[in-house]
Each structure stands twice: as C-alpha cells, then as structure tokens.
Chains A and B, each alone.
Chain A
C-alpha cells in the first residue's frame, strides 16, 4: 500500500529512482560524489599573523630574486590552531515536510555504528564528519524513523520527499545553511556504501539518513536505510 502510494504521487522521478536503486540492489551510493582528493593538512590556514619570539629581528624588506612558490604558513602554537570543524548544527528543518527538530552532535555507539538519540524527534549530526559550510565532504544528519516508545518520527516523511525539497540546517553560530534534495535512495543495509555517505572529501553536501523498507519483526530492525542527498543552494 505504502509503496504504491509513493509511486502514485506527483514525484515519480525520485520515487522511481529510489525503487530502481532498491530493486537493482546496487546501492553503492555512487551518486553521492567522491571527487577531490582532500589531501592536505588542517595546518594549511594561510594569512595568519606569525608570532615571532622576542629575539627575532625583522630583516629589511627585500624582493626575492625569483617569485616564491605559494606555501601556506601558519602559527603552530596551540592557541593559534584553527578550529578543526565549523560550528555544529543545532536545528534541522524541512518546511515543506513539516519537520523542525533539534540536532545533537553524536559519535559512535558501542557497536561502532552512528549513535542516535532514542527520540525520533531529535536528529543527530555525526560530529567527526563535515560540518555545514565546510569546503568539502558530507554533512551527515540522521534520526530514527520510529520507536515503540515515541511512535513514528518526522524523518519518516523523507522517503517520499520530492527532488528540490528544501532543507535548512542552523548551526550554533546562528547561521542557516540551505540545501535542496537531489537524490533519494533506499538501500539494503548490508549494501550501503558508508564510506561514501560519510566521506570527508568531494563536493559539499548534506546526507540525511533514516531507516525504511521492510522490517524484520524478529530482530526488530529495518532491512534498509533511506539516504537522502541534498546540495547547498547558495
């Protein structure tokens, strides 16, 4: 019934894409993009004021004989190190879907999976991955689709969301980052390419994750993940 209602909706392309991916069983998430090598160190902040210790003497300015190669130089002093990630997301909204939830920064659970809050109405941001506004990589925001205690959560509405659906992620500094849905996949859990979903390189993007598909009533788990990819709009 549910599947039929999705296909019968106005948003056939996305639904068909999701179904094709699910039926094809490829689910490699190749569409999420892995361009760019991301090679580098976070010490690469340029333009910082250098702190010379007191004994250093500044030489008279002189033009070098040959143009110097562009090499980023920064202070290695502990207090001058740049922040490793941008401000954390605190709020996630999908106005067209009626989703407006708080976001918590999370790491891993005791089994090495992303650890989500039990309440499906609280979303989780993977704090070891990209933050909104990062130059590269996937910002991962996930939430439970349902729970016996809390009932069906807002992320249940993602699976049928059409291409172009707007997502707003507000970070702790008050900035709101806007994304638009480009791809929806329903992938059997054992076939999800998590290294792509959690990639720290490639084009900046938002990856929303929840559960879906068939349910194993004995193991109390869904057999698939719903992965929604969205790109920054501005």
Chain B
C-alpha cells in the first residue's frame, strides 16, 4: 500500500514536472523579424493565414514580433492577393523556440528564384568592447568573400549561408567580392558594428540584374553586452578617508624640513670647513 502510494505520488510529481517545464518555457517568447530581400516585388506576408504585413517593400525590415514558441506557417503573396491561397513564396514552416531570436528572409536563391530562409540570430553574450558581425548571403550570386578594411574576414560564403565573427566594436569598411577575389561587387560601405549587439549584414539582390545591395539589421537583447570590470578613478590618495592625520602630515613635513635643514647645515659646515682650509 505504501509502495503504491509512493509510486502514485512519484508519478504525480513526474506529471507535475512534465507540465511545469513547457509552462515556464512558454513564458519566454520567441522574437521574429522579417526581411524582404526579393528585388522588385511588393508583397503581403501571412502568418498562419493571418495577414501580418501589408505592402511589404523590398529592402524593408519588419519586427521584431514577439511570438509564443511554436511553429508558424508563413506565406508570402503578391501585394494584391486577398488571401494566402496562392503564395509566391511558401508556405514555409518556421519552428520558433522559446527565447530564440530569428529573422525570416524572403530572398532569391543562387539561381534567382524566390525563396525564404529562417536564420537564428546569435545573441550570446559578448565581451565588453566587442560586437558581433554576421554576414548572410541571400543574393542571386555565387559564393563570396567578405572583406573588412580590404582584408577577407569571411571566405567562400554561399547562398543561403551565414558566417559571423566577434570583433572590436566600431565602424568597419565592408565590401563583398566573388570568392577568391577582392574586386567588390558590393561596397565598400561603412558598417557600424555595435558594441554588445549582433550587426547582421545581408548581401541581397541579383548579380545578373546588377542590383546587389547590403541590408543591415542590429539585434541587441538584454544581457548580451558585458560591462567594464571597474572604474579606476584616483591614484593619489589626496581625498582618502584613511589619509594620515593632519598632525602626522605635519610631522612628515616638519621631518622633511628638519632633514633639509640638517643637510643645509652640513653643507654650510662643509663650506666653512673648506673655507677654513682655504684660509
């Protein structure tokens, strides 16, 4: 009887745990941004068959949307569509984890066909003074290298991939070139890599149509930046609360004066002694 009871309680506890985990996870929403990277096509965006973005133009960034974790069906239609029944892209399923930070990008594949890709934005904590630069290839173009200040920092990046690096925050002169070359097909352009944030640069458009361009998104969430280790702000002790008592200071001053005087007397005595010798 006791054993059965204990087992029943144990099972109850397991059930309670089992329900508690998803419940607490559900409290942390997913964040979703949407980037439109298909040139020449104004669209509507439907999420789970609900019109969510109306007349969304190329090069625009929407969001972030705060959504409960789950899988969302996204369909992208021409802007004159009345519903999501005949999408130009999708519908695609976007699985969003609790606490995740995402960007869904409507873009061209390497061959120039419209498609959509869900990227996860890296929001891991950065060292103080550093920023994260993520580059995503969402253009109808072969693999590229990304150059910062003329030197390749990312190589052989192909559609629809991303590469990222953490670097000292500040403005970087960024250009994009066919992989293995340094002749820019985009840029050079000054991209500010923000401290404590993920600066995401998208190479989008079409090489063939000569409309390659950069789109930029900056993702910063609470807890992503680090603080300085301290503020060293004094080196002389002139206002110290444990400063030697003024009497002690005077003793030191007097002591120094006495020493100086003694030295002076010695010099005087020596001079006199010398004088005496001379005489």
Query: CB within 8 Å of B: which residues of A?
Result: 1-3, 37-44, 50-60, 64-66, 68-69, 71-78, 81, 84, 107-109, 111-114, 116, 120, 126, 128, 142-148, 151-152, 155-156, 159, 189, 192, 194-195, 197-198, 200-201, 209-215, 217, 220-222, 225
Contact = CB atoms under 8 A, between A and B. Distances in A.
B87 interface: no
A111 B233 contact: no
Interface string B16-54: 000000000000000101010001111000000011111
B114 to A, nearest CB: 13
Contacts of B185: none
Contacts of A116: 231-233
Contacts of B191: 78
B222 to A, nearest CB: 4
Interface stretch (B5-13, B144-152, B192-200, B252-260): B192-200
A111 B127 CA distance: 12
Interface string B223-266: 00101111111111111111101100000000000000000000
B54 A42 contact: no
Contacts of B196: 128, 200
Contact of A73 (B53, B225, B234): B53
A146 B239 contact: yes
B64 interface: yes
Contacts, number: 237
Interface stretch (B55-63, B88-96, B153-161, B175-183): B55-63
Nearest to A149: B236
B59 A77 contact: yes
A131 to B, nearest CB: 13
A75 B240 contact: no
A23 B211 CA distance: 65
Interface stretch (B68-76, B212-220, B268-276): B212-220
B113 interface: no
Interface residues of B, number: 69
B129 interface: yes
A43 B33 contact: yes
28 contacts: A2-B243, A39-B222, A41-B64, A42-B220, A55-B41, A59-B55, A65-B51, A66-B51, A69-B52, A73-B53, A81-B216, A84-B194, A112-B229, A128-B195, A144-B233, A146-B236, A148-B236, A152-B239, A156-B238, A194-B227, A194-B229, A197-B227, A200-B225, A209-B233, A210-B231, A211-B234, A214-B241, A220-B236
Given A116-B231, A200-B220, 15 more contacts: A38-B222, A41-B217, A59-B80, A72-B62, A73-B62, A76-B35, A76-B202, A107-B129, A112-B128, A144-B235, A194-B230, A209-B231, A210-B234, A215-B242, A220-B236
B233 A225 contact: yes
Contacts of A53: 39-40, 57-59, 211
A59 B230 contact: no
Contacts of A72: 62-63
A77 B234 CA distance: 45
Nearest to A155: B233
Contacts of B120: none
Nearest to B198: A41
A184 to B, nearest CB: 14
Contacts of B79: 59
B14 interface: no
Contacts of A109: 232
B104 interface: no
Nearest to B45: A71
B220 to A, nearest CB: 6
Kindly list the 10 A-B residue pairs having the minimum CB-CB distance in the complex, ordered from nearest.
Answer: A55-B40, A211-B234, A215-B240, A215-B237, A76-B215, A198-B227, A145-B234, A128-B195, A76-B61, A214-B242
A146 B191 CA distance: 39
